[in-house]
């Protein structure tokens, strides 16, 4: 399935999700701290030069939609969120995210996941979004719960949370 990337930012209450731009690469590389390396698969050896190439490529990548999480009033960068199509027929996707340290603790991730899920269910023929966290990653589990993801046990070593398509008025 081709993901039609939005032309305009996706607006949440206090955040907006926009396409990554090559000029964001330095910020992205520097924003990742030990907390992010602990809980995500972000490569430590990523450089701004590599990332600029990846940003160029992902804008035409059919199964991956990566967004910068920004503060809606100021436009400043807060973090990263991505939706990845995980199933051959394109009906399942996984959401992944992180916030730079100064952006944590004020609900930005909750709002970002909610906004991305709403856009995905409205725009794509997706039936199910999955969110996988480490068993010790309580902050991410709280985000999953606050957005309305339902716990579904474990997949491998990680906890699985899912959100399924609902009638449009009750989504996320
Ligand atoms: C996960 C993450 C995006 C959440 O950011 P956030 O929305 O700002 O989350 P908060 O800091 O507001 O925390 C969310 C909740 O978890 C709680 N929490 C935060 N850190 C915690 C910790 N170390 N242990 C237990 N609970 C924690 C908060 O009290 C809050 O609870 P509430 O729902 O009662 O308000 C952020 O912590 C992060 O970037 N972590 C590193 C990357 C990561 O883990 N990504 C997800 C991979 S699955």
Instruction: Tell whether 3 is covered by a domain.
Output: no
- From the CA of 101, give the closest atom in ligand 1: 39
Instruction: Tell whether 153 is covered by a domain.
Output: yes
Instruction: Tell whether 58 is covered by a domain.
Output: yes
Taking only the tens place, the pLDDT of each residue in 97-109 is 999 999 999 999 9
pTM confidence score:
0.92
pLDDT, position 21: 94
Give the number of residues written for the chain.
Answer: 172
Range of the structural domain that residue 83 is part of:
10-170
- From the CA of 141, give the closest atom in ligand 1: 16
Instruction: Tell whether 111 is covered by a domain.
Output: yes
Instruction: Tell whether 2 is covered by a domain.
Output: no
Q: How far is the CA of 17 from the centre of ligand 1 (A)?
A: 19
Nearest C-alpha to atom 20 of ligand 1 is from which residue? 139
First-residue to last-residue Cα distance in the chain: 22
CATH label of the domain that carries residue 69:
3.40.630.30
What is the radius of gyration, based on Cα positions, of the chain? Answer: 15
Tokens of 29: 């590389």
SS3 159: strand
pLDDT, position 50: 96
Instruction: Tell whether 164 is covered by a domain.
Output: yes
pLDDT, position 166: 81
Q: Please report, in tens digits, the pLDDT of each residue of the chain (172 residues total).
A: 778 888 899 999 999 999 999 999 999 999 999 999 999 999 999 999 999 999 988 777 778 899 999 999 999 999 999 999 988 676 999 999 999 999 999 999 999 999 999 999 999 999 999 999 999 999 999 999 999 999 999 999 999 999 999 865 555 4
How many separate domains does the chain show? 1
| Mutual angle of helices 108-123 and 138-147, in 10-degree steps | 50
**Residues 16/70, Cβ–Cβ less than 8 Å:** yes
Pocket test for ligand 1, best of 106, 139, 158 (most atoms within 8 A of CB): 139
Nearest C-alpha to atom 28 of ligand 1 is from which residue? 139
Q: Rounded to an integer, what distance in angstroms lies between the CA atom of residue 45 and that of residue 55? A: 16
Which are the contacts of 152, defined by CB distance < 8 A and separation ≥ 6?
160, 161, 162
Ligand 1 contacts (CB < 6 A) are: 35-36, 39-40, 97-99, 104-105, 107-110, 133, 137-140, 142-143, 146
Q: Rounded to an integer, what distance in angstroms lies between the CA atom of residue 168 and that of residue 32? A: 35
**Residues 90/34, Cβ–Cβ less than 8 Å:** no
- From the CA of 99, give the closest atom in ligand 1: 39
Q: Rounded to an integer, what distance in angstroms lies between the CA atom of residue 69 and that of residue 79? A: 5
């Amino acid at each position: 399935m081709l993901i039609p990337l939005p032309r305009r930012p996706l607006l949440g209450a206090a955040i907006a999700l926009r396409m990554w731009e090559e000029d964001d690469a330095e910020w992205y590389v520097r924003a990742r701290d030990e907390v992010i390396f602990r809980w995500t698969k972000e490569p430590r050896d990523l450089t701004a030069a590599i990332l600029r190439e990846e940003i160029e490529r992902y804008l035409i990548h059919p199964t991956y939609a990566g967004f910068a999480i920004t503060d809606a009033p100021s436009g400043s960068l807060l973090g990263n969120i991505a939706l990845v199509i995980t199933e051959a027929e394109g009906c399942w996707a996984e959401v992944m995210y992180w916030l730079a340290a100064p952006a944590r603790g004020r609900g930005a991730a909750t709002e970002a996941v909610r906004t991305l899920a709403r856009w995905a269910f409205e725009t794509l023929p997706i039936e199910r979004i999955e969110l996988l966290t480490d068993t010790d990653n309580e902050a991410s589990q709280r985000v999953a719960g606050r957005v309305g993801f339902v716990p579904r046990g474990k997949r491998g070593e990680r906890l699985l949370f899912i959100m399924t398509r609902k009638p449009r008025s009750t989504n996320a």
